[in-house]
């Protein structure tokens, strides 16, 4: 039996840009509404502000995951395997290790150059706020950028084109951050946009880039007490002072804007892309499949 051709309506709804816009609207609407509701409910309790934010972060993250799964399950009529829990422990452990190592190497270069000074050590409870921010941002941003934008674009444009476009957009979104410049946005696009996209290509599972993203941000702001993407410092385990060349420290944007961060993350990206190529995980653009 011959397959029936797509109707005009089906063609419109399967167009990548339409799919991306609808997925973003549904997912973000669910997150924003849920955030407001849980915020009001937690405001009625006597819980400490840090713990309220922690619960809110968990709730919002769960909503983002649920919204994504439900949208693509019914919109694309498929099982959403990119958030499957198969090999969850492996993806999380390896991803966290990669993020921890890359961020630690970045800070190590600042330290070797005499620009990283530990002023004091705070109680462990001080990591609650950066922990909450790190895992919430990692889950939301990976679902939106790698899960929706990159994955949908990849289906039509192929892996490398989708990787470049999603990385540029990811970097550009950071231009809205305090102390951001075109150079810092380019740094984010190269070191994070490419790395996290390559991580998804390799694993075909969002938990892997989520883990890398989380560990990078948490180590940066929660442990080393550094500025993250130009935002104000939060509470952290270590109270530190960073001085020295902007090329090494990243200046007011933080270590993400440093030269060594680009180098270390680019090396990791090249390794992952090599493994993707070797494992035949690269998707060709649709015009090369004709």
The answer to whether residue 118 sits within a structural domain is yes
What are the φ and ψ backbone dihedral angles of 222, each rounded to 5 degrees?
A: -85, -30
Is residue 267 included in any domain, yes or no? yes
pTM of the model: 0.93
Contact residues for 132 (Cβ-Cβ < 8 A; gap 6+): 50, 53, 54, 56, 57
In a domain, 11, yes or no: no
Q: Per the domain annotation, does 46 fall within a domain?
A: no
Q: What pLDDT is recorded for position 218?
A: 95
Domain assignment present for 41 = no
Would you say residue 68 lies in a domain?
no
Which residues, other chains included, contact 43 with Cβ-Cβ below 8 Å and sequence gap of 6+?
Answer: 52
What pLDDT is recorded for position 5? 57
Cβ within 8 Å of residue 204, ≥6 positions away = 81, 82, 281
Angle between helices 88-112 and 195-203 (to 10 degrees): 160
Range of the domain at 254: 85-288
Domain total of the chain: 1
pLDDT, residue 289, reads 74
Residue that is written with structure tokens 């649920």 in the block: 66
C-alpha dihedral, 55 to 129 to 181 to 187, nearest 10°: -90
pLDDT mean values, one per 10 residues, the chain (290 residues):
58 83 93 91 85 89 94 92 93 97 96 93 90 93 96 95 96 88 92 96 97 96 88 86 91 91 96 96 85
In a domain, 14, yes or no: no
> 200, exposed or middle or buried, with CB in 10 Å at 0-12, 13-18, 19+?
buried
Identify whether 15 is part of a domain.
no
């Amino acid at each position: 039996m011959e397959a029936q051709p797509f109707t005009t309506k089906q063609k419109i709804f399967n167009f990548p840009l339409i799919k991306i816009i609808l997925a973003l609207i549904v997912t973000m609407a669910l997150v924003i509404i849920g955030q407001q509701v849980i915020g009001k409910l937690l405001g009625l309790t006597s819980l400490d502000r840090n713990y309220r934010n922690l619960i809110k972060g968990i709730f919002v993250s769960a909503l983002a995951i649920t919204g994504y799964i439900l949208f693509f399950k019914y919109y694309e009529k498929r099982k959403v395997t990119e958030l499957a829990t198969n090999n969850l422990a492996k993806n999380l452990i390896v991803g966290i290790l990669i993020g921890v190592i890359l961020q630690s190497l970045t800070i190590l270069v600042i330290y070797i150059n005499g620009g990283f000074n530990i002023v004091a050590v705070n109680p462990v409870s001080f990591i609650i706020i950066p922990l909450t921010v790190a895992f919430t941002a990692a889950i939301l941003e990976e679902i939106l950028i790698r899960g929706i934008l990159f994955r949908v674009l990849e289906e039509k444009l192929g892996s490398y084109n989708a990787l470049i476009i999603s990385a540029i957009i990811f970097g550009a979104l950071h231009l809205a951050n305090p102390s951001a410049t075109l150079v810092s946005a380019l740094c984010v696009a190269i070191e994070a946009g490419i790395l996290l996209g390559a991580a998804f290509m390799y694993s075909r599972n969002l938990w892997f880039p989520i883990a890398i993203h989380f560990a990078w941000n948490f180590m940066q702001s929660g442990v080393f007490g550094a500025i993250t993407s130009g935002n104000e410092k939060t509470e952290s385990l270590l109270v530190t002072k960073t001085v020295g060349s902007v090329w090494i420290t990243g200046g007011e944007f933080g270590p993400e804007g440093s030269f060594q961060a680009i180098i270390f993350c680019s090396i990791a990206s090249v390794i992952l892309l090599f493994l993707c190529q070797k494992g035949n995980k690269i998707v060709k653009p649709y015009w090369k499949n004709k």
